[in-house]
Amino acid sequence: MPELPEVEVIRRDLNETIVGLTIDSVQARDEMVLVGVTPRQFARRLSGRQILDIRRWGKVLIIELSGGVCLLVHLRMTGRLYPVPADQTLPDHTRAVFHLSNGQRLLFVNPRRLGRLEIADSNRLTEAKMLQKMGMDALSDEVDEQVVGEMLRPHSIALKQWLLDQTHIAGLGNIYASEILHRCRIHPDALANSLDPKAVRKLLRAIRRVLDEAIKWRGTTVSDYVTGRGVPGAFQKRLRVYGREGKRCRRRNCRDTIVRTTHAGRSTYYCPRCQPVPR
Ligand SMILES: [Zn+2]
């Protein structure tokens, strides 16, 4: 959290608000969130560069700057990234401040300090620490039935766990993995290599539908997430299983109750009737 939809909403918001502006100066207030540079080096390498575009790969934001440099932002659990007017007081846990040419400040706020900022060369992006080993983006056209079918084959682990591994498909986390599996009616413990082509097709359709819907509703706020405009999302009201232990399944004609289990120490929610135990 935030996962792909939240990062995508932030990307779209920032594309409207900060692209075209120049970073006049940078205050890196916490060295711990910087990858491989000191606060001084970080500020020096970014100051004076114009913001050209903002892209996304999985859960990583790629802010493309003039001069062939990118700023990569990984929000991890509690990160927030949004612009504020010059006179607004900085919130607690502001780890970096980017002073922009329109007088606004872009804030990187991160209470748990797990988020990261990394500078990378535009033409050597895949060498960046944050993007090394990163699988295909979950919304990329490359994610098709044949490719994913082949990727699943060597893995006799629970599908839920397979989906969380960013080296396979990038962008899914704990919330959307549960939602996706409920949508395609596959039990979270089904083994990744047990899916037949029809099940793979259902899974991919569910990935796209759940992510598209979540983006449309501007992401899920269960704790810290805010959009690129600094306000909460609305998809939390539409979650079908995540966080709904003991509540009625939201599929029409299903009267069963959502249960919670754990996979690798993380909560998984599913409906025992819609998602039968695999044989
Ligand atoms: Zn159900």
pLDDT in tens, the chain (279 residues): 799 999 999 999 999 999 999 999 999 999 999 999 999 999 999 999 999 999 999 999 999 999 999 999 999 988 999 999 999 999 999 999 999 999 999 999 999 899 999 999 999 999 999 999 999 999 999 999 999 999 999 999 999 999 999 999 999 999 999 999 999 999 999 999 999 999 999 999 999 999 999 999 999 998 889 999 999 999 999 999 999 999 999 999 999 999 999 887 889 999 999 999 887
Q: Which residue has the tokens 């135990």?
A: 277
Number of other residues whose CB lies within 10 A of the CB of residue 183: 22
106 and 51 fall within a common domain: yes
Residues 117 and 207 reside in one and the same domain: no
In a domain, residue 158? The reply is yes
What pTM does this model have? 0.96
pLDDT at residue 221 in the model: 94
Kindly state whether residue 276 falls inside one of the protein's structural domains. no
pLDDT value of residue 78? 86
pLDDT (0 to 100) of residue 52: 98
Owning domain of residue 199: 136-270
d(CA 128, CA 109): 22
Ligand 1 centroid–CA 166 distance in Å is: 28
Q: Do 146 and 113 belong together in one domain? A: no
pLDDT at 37: 97
| CB 129 within 8 Å of CB 35 | yes
**In a domain? residue 174:** yes
Task: Please indicate, yes or no, whether residues 141 and 265 belong to a single structural domain of this protein.
Answer: yes
Residue 154 lies in a domain: yes
- Quick one: 34 and 80 in the same domain? yes
d(CA 256, CA 258): 7
| 119 and 239 part of one domain | no
Q: Is residue 82 a contact partner of residue 227, using CB atoms and an 8 Å limit?
A: yes
279 within some domain: no
Provide the pLDDT for residue 27: 97
CA of 257 to the centre of ligand 1 (A): 7
Domain boundary among 79, 110, 127: 127
- Which of the listed residues 127, 145, 168 is the one where a domain comes to its end? 127
pLDDT at 278: 82
**CATH code assigned at 57:** 3.20.190.10
Distance of CA 21 to the CA centre of its chain: 25
The alpha carbon of 243 and the centre of ligand 1 are apart by a number of angstroms equal to: 15
Ligand 1 centre distance from Cα of residue 180 (Å) = 13
The answer on 54 and 79 residing in a single domain is yes
Q: What are phi and psi of 14, to 5 degrees?
A: -70, -30
Where in the sequence numbering do the catalytic residues fall? 2-3, 59, 266
CA distance 209 to 179: 10
102 & 210 share domain: no
Task: Evaluate whether residue 275 is within a structural domain.
Answer: no
Ranges of beta strands (E only) in the chain are 23-28, 51-57, 60-65, 69-74, 80-84, 94-100, 105-109, 116-121, 136-137, 169-170, 259-263, 266-270
Q: For position 279, what pLDDT does the model report?
A: 73
Pairwise CA distance, residues 275 & 134, whole Å:
29
278 lies in some domain: no
Residues 182, 212 share a domain: yes
Closest listed residue to residue 60, CA positions, set 20, 121, 2: 2
Look at residue 115 in the predicted model and tell me its pLDDT: 94
C-alpha 59 to ligand 1 mean position (Å): 29
**What is the pLDDT, as a whole number, of residue 89?**
94
Asked whether residue 143 falls in the same domain as residue 110, the answer is no
Query: The domain spanning residue 149 has which CATH number?
Result: 1.10.8.50
Q: Considering 63, 98, 127, which residue would you say is the last residue of a domain?
A: 127
Strand partners, 97: 27, 107
Number of domains in the chain: 2
Q: Is residue 234 part of a domain?
A: yes
pLDDT the model gives residue 112: 87
The residues, ordered by sequence, that sit 6+ positions from 267 with a Cβ below 8 Å of its Cβ are 174, 260, 261
**Is the domain of 70 the same as that of 51?**
yes
115 and 51, same domain (yes or no) = yes
What pLDDT shows up at residue 198? Answer: 97
